[in-house]
Amino acid sequence: MSAKSWDDQRIEVIIGTLLRTGVILAAAVVLIGGMLYLVRHGHEVPNYTTFHGEPEGLKSVSDIVHGALGRGASAIIQLGLLLLIATPVARVIFSAIAFAIEHDYMYVVITLIVLGVLLYSLLASG
């Protein structure tokens, strides 16, 4: 693929598709987890008035993935939310690659700074 066809317009179209796919996928997973959650816990009484924090299994990336594989309803919802948070991260990664193909190295650096902040936030342990 020639560098010419990688103009800004083309990149924007790909980014648009990426964002839409991420949101649809995330919403679908949250919906599935949500239905399971309501079937299993629908008749319990919620208490969100006092803050106690979510349990360990629902906080870190690896714990959530493990929990969702074990079909825990809350973990499946959390996995969907994680996919949603990952969508802008994927967008930034793609932008870095696109800027590199355009040989715009100043923007590759700028994009990697943004990516660094996002990954720090997502992977920093409590």
Is 92 an interacting residue with respect to another protein (CB under 8 A)? yes
Dihedral over Cα of 95, 76, 64, 67: its sign = negative
Cα(120)–Cα(117) distance, integer angstroms:
5
Is 126 an interacting residue with respect to another protein (CB under 8 A)? yes
Task: Look up residue 113 and give its two tokens.
Answer: 């700074």
Binding residue for another protein, selected from 2, 3, 53, 62, defined by CB under 8 A: 53
Q: Which candidate, 87, 88, 81, places its Cα nearest to that of 65?
A: 81
Q: Which candidate, 86, 87, 94, places its Cα nearest to that of 111?
A: 94
* Binding footprint of another protein, residue count (CB under 8 A): 67
Residue reference for tokens 């990336």 = 61
Binding residue for another protein, selected from 25, 65, 84, 101, defined by CB under 8 A: 84
Enumerate binding residues for another protein (CB under 8 A): 8-9, 11-13, 15-17, 19-20, 22-23, 26-27, 30-31, 33-34, 37-38, 41-46, 48-51, 53-55, 58-60, 73-75, 77-78, 81-82, 84-85, 87-89, 91-92, 95, 104, 106-107, 110-111, 113-114, 117-118, 120-126
